[in-house]
Amino acid sequence: MDLDPGEGPFSEAQRRVAGSAPFPDPAQPITVIRNNHSNIPLGSILNKGEIILLLTPVVVIRERGETPGRDPFEILGRAVAAKHAGVRHVPYTALNGITNTHAAFIRAARVVIFVVSGPPRLGQVDQVELGRAVQRLARGKPFIMITTLSASPVDDDFPTALQVTEMNQRNLQTLAESLFVRELHTKSLASEGSLPAHGRPETNWSIEVWDTLKDMGAVSALWNECLPSQFKMDANKLRSVLARGDDAFYHVVCMPQTSLVIGLCTTYTVQATRQSDELIGYLATLIVDPRYRGQGIGRALHDHALSWLRRMVGLSHIQLGSSFPRLLRGLPTSVDSEHWFVKRGWDIGMPGNEIRDLLLETDAWPSAMPEDIEIRRSYRQATPDDLSSLRELLERSLVMPQHAGWLEQYTAAIDTGRLDNIIVGMHGRTIVATALIYQPNDDSTLERNLPWAGAIGTDVGGITCVYIADVQAGSLQIQRDSIMIRLLDTCVAIHQRRGMARVFLDGVRGGFDAYQALGMWSRGHWRRNEIDHYS
């Protein structure tokens, strides 16, 4: 059975270009080009009842004896279904592309398999490019690209890719078997002489788990070489931030001859809420020595880190950046790397994903605050008498994913007797707002988790985890704004009494003009990016 959608003037040129791909062993009709995420065998990543989506092109049957109108990939669909119950086999066409119907199937699937039967006809969209669109819609789900020798070359944007010598009945049945076996014939494009985009040969980089007690000087040097000036830290400060428990996983690439650390990726997991077993995965930082970029180190670390996080039971989604510890809050807008992450499935364009860290010279803070709308409200440091209602409010309210880690920071302040670092807004005897403050070198959990105030200077105090309860009466927005201003005013006043000349407010979402009117200016500007709903 010849599946021949590729007749036309471009077919022969495409076949010549495809010659740069590894030539399969005739005895091995299925070749694994890449399996960077360990998606094969499928049995290792699938649970009972989870859906495999098989997307195959509508093609013309060329094999003698076949019935016109029958889907030639039906054999593949049946063979995969024999291995795993729950296969959805959906065709696509080059003319109509990927439709809303396809998108609905993609959202429901746990694994997406995309088949490319050959190069495009004149005027048609390349099936490989359609596969790229499907991979973006899959948003981090396991994605497997399957092509023939005649198709356009499959680049390293597809971490899991297989090649079939010819799509006949026997090979399609073998292909289905291959998706569920561990040992496969594997060759790398780089090993056959093709070059990455930067023109330098790739290396099969060895990725190691990094011990924070080792090579801190080298890692600190790499950190300060790669990141903008406002994120630089000395070795001791970096060690205190990275010294974590079982929720932290650090991965490095070292030069084989010298063991010099040339790439670092930091990852964390945090329980989404106290009421849920779901975890949020954080890819907090990914840095590569500028002298060794363009050789696949960043991609290898990225893919390895995501694979590592995806092994965690209960993982709901993966976020770029981290909250606690606060290494990088997301993707810094000052770093030109958006396209690199978009190519790897990260959603950069999410509405409302802009976050800023703000800095204030305390002398610039308005000396007179407008009167609070509600005269019964007051703002002060917490006392032991507040503990019961404070705990009840926090445990009831800090349940959203955007509050992940907040409750732990408040609990640490309470358990270590640092109630003076908890600021409360009171409506009569009811707590309606809270914030945490901290100072450099005060040996608090917050100071260790949030290093950037201290990195700016020893006279910089921090404000974080600002929470305002729902306001029931009057104009909601006016009251929330009034509470926020008075709460910040109390925090700034306490910092001034403690000798702080500047105040650092982190993780602000929206309302930037209002903060600027209060004398604050942007110290860090982030885009918060996610691969959503992994499991």
Sequence spans of domains, the chain:
11-192, 207-328, 358-525
- Please state, for a pLDDT cut of 90, what percent of the chain lies above it: 34
The pLDDT score that the predictor gives to residue 23 is 42
Lowest mean pLDDT among 106-115, 271-280, 455-464, 522-531: 522-531
Please give the order of strands across the beta sheet that includes 377-381: 331-332, 520-527, 354-361, 502-508, 460-468, 430-438, 422-427, 377-381
Strands (E), 167-300: 207-209, 248-254, 261-271, 279-288
The pLDDT score that the predictor gives to residue 15 is 30
Domain boundaries 11-192, corresponding CATH code = 3.40.50.1700
The pLDDT score that the predictor gives to residue 162 is 92
CATH architecture of 358-525: 3-Layer(aba) Sandwich (3.40)
As to burial, measured by CB atoms within 10 angstroms (0-12 exposed, 13-18 middle, 19+ buried), residue 126 is: middle
pLDDT band at 370 (very low <50, low <70, confident <90, very high): low
pLDDT tens digits for range 430-459: 999 999 999 988 878 888 899 999 989 999
The pLDDT score that the predictor gives to residue 9 is 27
The answer on pLDDT for 380 being more than 90 is yes
* 504 contacts 358 by C-beta, under 8 angstroms: yes
Half-sphere exposure of 494 (CA within 13 A, CB side): 22
Across residues 163-177, what is the average pLDDT? 89
Average pLDDT, whole number, for the chain?
A: 80
Tell me how far the alpha carbon of residue 469 is from its chain's centroid.
29
The pLDDT score that the predictor gives to residue 282 is 92
The pLDDT score that the predictor gives to residue 200 is 44
Q: Which strand (E) or helix (H) includes residue 319?
A: strand 315-320
State the Cα torsion 62-65-70-72 to the nearest 10°: -50
The answer on pLDDT for 20 being more than 70 is no
> Cα dist. 75→79, 82, 173, 178, 470 in Å?
6, 11, 7, 14, 57
pLDDT band at 532 (very low <50, low <70, confident <90, very high): very low
The answer on pLDDT for 86 being more than 70 is yes
Examine domains 11-192 and 358-525 and report if their fold is the same.
Answer: no
The pLDDT score that the predictor gives to residue 323 is 84
User: 163, 55, 58, 171: which is closest to 115 by C-alpha?
Assistant: 55
The answer on pLDDT for 481 being more than 90 is no
Across residues 68-97, what is the average pLDDT? 85
d(CA 22, CA 165): 11
d(CA 82, CA 85): 7
Report helix, strand or coil for 235: helix
* 433 contacts 483 by C-beta, under 8 angstroms: yes
The answer on pLDDT for 205 being more than 80 is yes
Across residues 232-240, what is the average pLDDT? 88
The answer on pLDDT for 408 being more than 60 is yes
Residue found by looking up tokens 């040992």 in the block: 183
pLDDT tens digits for range 137-168: 888 889 999 998 767 667 777 889 999 988 88
pLDDT band at 136 (very low <50, low <70, confident <90, very high): confident
Helix axes 127-138, 100-108, angle to 10 degrees: 50
pLDDT band at 328 (very low <50, low <70, confident <90, very high): confident
* 197 contacts 341 by C-beta, under 8 angstroms: no
pLDDT band at 365 (very low <50, low <70, confident <90, very high): very high
- List b or e across 354-380, with b for residues whose CB sees 16 or more CB atoms inside 10 angstroms: bbbbbbbebeebeeeeeebbbeebebe
The pLDDT score that the predictor gives to residue 121 is 72
d(CA 310, CA 183): 22
d(CA 350, CA 347): 6
Across residues 300-310, what is the average pLDDT? 90
Across residues 80-84, what is the average pLDDT? 92
Domain boundaries 207-328, corresponding CATH code = 3.40.630.30
The answer on pLDDT for 30 being more than 80 is yes
The answer on pLDDT for 61 being more than 70 is no
Task: Choose the most confident range, by mean pLDDT, from 184-188, 365-369, 398-402, 434-438.
Answer: 434-438
Task: Choose the most confident range, by mean pLDDT, from 60-64, 155-159, 256-260, 278-282.
Answer: 278-282
Q: How many residues does the chain have?
A: 535
Residues in CB range of 301: below 8 A, 6 or more apart: 207, 251, 253, 263, 264, 265, 286, 288
Report helix, strand or coil for 190: helix
The answer on pLDDT for 67 being more than 50 is no
The pLDDT score that the predictor gives to residue 509 is 82
Across residues 76-80, what is the average pLDDT? 93
Q: Which strand (E) or helix (H) includes residue 341?
A: helix 338-342
The answer on pLDDT for 414 being more than 70 is yes
Across residues 168-187, what is the average pLDDT? 78
The answer on pLDDT for 246 being more than 80 is no
Residue found by looking up tokens 């696949």 in the block: 296
Please state the pTM of the whole predicted model: 0.61
